[in-house]
Amino acid sequence: MGFFDRFSGKKSEPTPAPAVPLEVNGTTPVPVAGVKSRLVAAREKLEALDLPGALAIYEELLTTAGDRADVLVAISGDLGSAGHVAHIIELVAPRYDANRHGPATGLNLLQAYLAVRNADAAQHVLDILFGLNRPELEDRLHGFSNAIAELIASPDQGPASGDGAPVTPTEMPKVSLISISKPIWFYGLEAMAEQLLPPKEGRLRRIAFAQLALPGYPNLVEAMKKPEDELGRLCRAVPLWFAETFYFSPSYTPIAAVGLLNMPDGGGNHYALFGSEWSTENLRQLVETSTGGLDYIVTGALGMLAGDYELSLRVWEVKSYRERKSFKVRWTPATADQALSKLQSEVRAYMEWSPTSAALAYTVPAQPRAWLDTLGASLGLFLVEKQLLTLDRLPPVIELVTPAGEHAATGEAASLAFLTLRHRAGRVGAIPLPPPANLARSPLVTQAERVLNP
């Protein structure tokens, strides 16, 4: 099963840009540095869930640099990562030439056609890719050939509807993956980026933290239709916590990946839950379709065993596609903070994590279990504000935000998280609005209050 089958896609790895910009249809090309900066700007708009803004930049780039392989693979990969596969087909398919642009963009395009269940178009792209005679791609292409064969054999078959009739492809729910590349509590404080976030320079290790699987979770499909419960929030909050931790290291550039279930016929979105951990093939495709590639991927599983919580993590080294290290921890409500602190310490030590120098100094939360709830609540309201979730998909907002206020005075990050969380609750119309809280005394916190409440 590929990532476009399971998650609706990921970002693509760009091929190296040519040293001299190409001329396209007699127009003046965008300089190499300009192309890179515009791609970054478009990616940031996708991360901020501003699709129209990203598409405007892509149209501009395609007009002046649309014949460049690195541009096409980056655009197709970033759109795939954000789940906008239809726009890959619209923007990239008319320009793709396999001999000129290579296989990477073709693979992204092929997966996009599979995601929208267009077997004829997928077969056409597959034939073109086989025609490149690239031995290293053969196993992958044969896998796609099997997927197309299954699609052709059952073009209209899917889960049964309530009256027993087959559900057509357009009626089938789809899962998209949302990549969070900065601390979730930072969104809303972009004006303070230089004060709050450390610079990212030089050769960085690229690491992805995947939403945890919930093996053995009862009635997974039905659970996704209900407001999130504790395990659901934790399976997303843990990768958010580790991505935040590694963002404040000078050696890493991290992302956290969480899933949304897109319901058909205007049914809105739900949080996605995964019943099994990512397979090696999933990891391989994630790397092949990630901008800049990845050096490490951290997957894991979460569950309850005999009344205890159990969490396992696996660190995968991408170079060899081998599991390099695993961690496991169990806790009860009384031992959660101690167990989670130990787990984070072990992961940081193994990955040779070191703190970065920034105006906002990273500190390990004294109560990580409560911090996970704050991160999970921040994600939920962020997605509601971006109109990717509705408030009824979350527990009552006052139950999400009030606990964050109880811990807001424990540090700068906790205060900033409460400020953005409460501000976002007001923006989405939550009633009643949680009360203000005591905050850490800090110039950064004071400035953040002014930014959020000018």
End residue of a domain, out of 126, 153, 180: 153
For residues 138 and 243, membership in a common domain is answered with no
Examine residue 409 and state whether it is found in any structural domain, yes or no.
yes
- Residue 274: phi, psi to the nearest 5? -115, 130
What is the distance, to the nearest Å, from the Cα of residue 448 to the centroid of all Cα atoms in its chain?
A: 26
Q: What percent of the chain has pLDDT over 90?
A: 38
Tens digits of residue pLDDT in 375-388? 999 999 999 999 89
For residues 131 and 238, membership in a common domain is answered with no
Here the tokens at position 165 are 């009739």
For residues 210 and 64, membership in a common domain is answered with no
Tens digits of residue pLDDT in 143-181? 888 788 877 766 544 333 333 333 344 445 677 778 898
DSSP bridge pairs for 322: 317
Closest residue by Cα to residue 159 from 173, 175, 177, 176: 173
Cα distance between residue 222 and residue 173, in whole Å: 13
Residue 239: predicted pLDDT: 97
Torsion angle of the four alpha carbons 185, 188, 190, 193, in this order, in degrees rounded to the nearest 10: -30
Residue 453: predicted pLDDT: 86
Cα distance between residue 281 and residue 285, in whole Å: 6
Tens digits of residue pLDDT in 349-370? 999 998 876 668 888 898 999 9
Examine residue 227 and state whether it is found in any structural domain, yes or no.
yes
Residue 234's domain spans which residues? 170-452
For residues 248 and 145, membership in a common domain is answered with no
At 442 the three-state DSSP class reads coil
Residue 220: predicted pLDDT: 80
28: domain CATH number is: 1.25.40
For residues 175 and 130, membership in a common domain is answered with no
End residue of a domain, out of 122, 153, 184: 153
Q: Which amino acid is at 231?
A: L
> Is pLDDT above 60 for 125?
yes
End residue of a domain, out of 88, 118, 153: 153
Between these two residues, 86 and 411, which has the higher pLDDT value? 411
Residue 413: predicted pLDDT: 94
On the question of a cis peptide bond just before residue 94, with omega within 30 degrees of 0, the verdict is no
Residue 259, classified by CB atoms within 10 Å of its CB into exposed (0-12), middle (13-18) or buried (19+), is buried
For residues 117 and 92, membership in a common domain is answered with yes
Examine residue 331 and state whether it is found in any structural domain, yes or no.
yes
Between these two residues, 29 and 137, which has the higher pLDDT value? 137
Tens digits of residue pLDDT in 424-441? 999 998 888 888 899 999
Examine residue 158 and state whether it is found in any structural domain, yes or no.
no
Examine residue 161 and state whether it is found in any structural domain, yes or no.
no
For residues 192 and 46, membership in a common domain is answered with no
For residues 114 and 250, membership in a common domain is answered with no
The CA-based angle 315-388-417, given to 5 degrees, is 65
At 335 the three-state DSSP class reads coil
Q: What percent of the chain has pLDDT over 70?
A: 85
Most confident option among 134-148, 256-270, 276-290, 376-390: 376-390
Torsion angle of the four alpha carbons 157, 158, 160, 163, in this order, in degrees rounded to the nearest 10: -50
